[in-house]
Amino acid sequence: MITRILILLTALVLGGCQSSKPVEPFPPKPDLPYRAWYVGLGAPDYMEAWVDGVDLIDVNDLMYERVFGGIASTSTPPNNQGDARGWPERPGPGSSFPMSGVDLPEKITVRWQSLAEPQAYRASFHISDETRAEMVKPRPTYCAWRDAHVTHYLNIIAIGVAPGGIVKAWLVGPCLEPIEIAHVQGEINPVGPYNGTSNGEFYRPPSPNAQHYIDTHGIPFGSW
């Protein structure tokens, strides 16, 4: 009886080994024409924001949490000389960070604190096959600041976050025209700032210049 049980157990173990798939110890190395692509963060003038984290799922269905975060790049000129309404015609990369060793994204989620309100938001957007194709297309261009003809890529995903939970994203690159790739309405993050780990405390109040603009002009909801 014992011998028969041992034979059955051995058969089950061997059968399980034969049917299981090998587990890759590391993600596949991205096959890209550059060393890294980038995530950039920005916000409209005076509408300061702290990004709790950017999460992404790549084309291999691998999830990366909090690949980037911090202060979103914005402008707060004194005496209300800026304009918070709308987005710039040529958005820059903002504060950016390289996604080294990470393949191109399938989905991006951003969680941020709108310091102007204040309110905590989260939003997600998908990256299409067409968008990823644009990211790896070589683009000959003329760079005036270098006075040279060069080849660059739209390998920066610039993410703009705004009050009211608005997110807009572009592909940008040096000396290249940006391409808008997403414009979504996010939602209030129900757990609050810092994804619920700060007892409701926000990063900080708006800076003096930003607060002066808000006191004078208010927050231009609907312009983003």
132-143 pLDDT, tens digit per residue, is 999 999 999 998
Residue 147: CA count within 13 A, CB half-sphere: 0
Residue 30 φ then ψ, to 5°: -60, 140
Judged against a pLDDT cut of 60, whether residue 61 lies above it is answered with yes
Q: What is the dihedral of CA 182, 185, 188, 190, to 10 degrees?
A: -70
145 pLDDT band (50/70/90 cuts)? confident
> Residues near 61 by Cβ (< 8 Å), separated by ≥ 6?
106
Judged against a pLDDT cut of 60, whether residue 200 lies above it is answered with yes
Is-above-0.75 flag for pTM? Answer: yes
Q: Quote the CA–CA distance of 224 and 221 in Å, as a whole number.
A: 7
Residues 171-196 have pLDDT tens digits of 999 999 999 999 999 999 999 999 99
Residues 16-44 have pLDDT tens digits of 444 344 445 567 789 999 999 999 999 99
Closest CA to 158 of 102, 65, 88: 88
**Which pLDDT does position 24 carry in this prediction?**
56
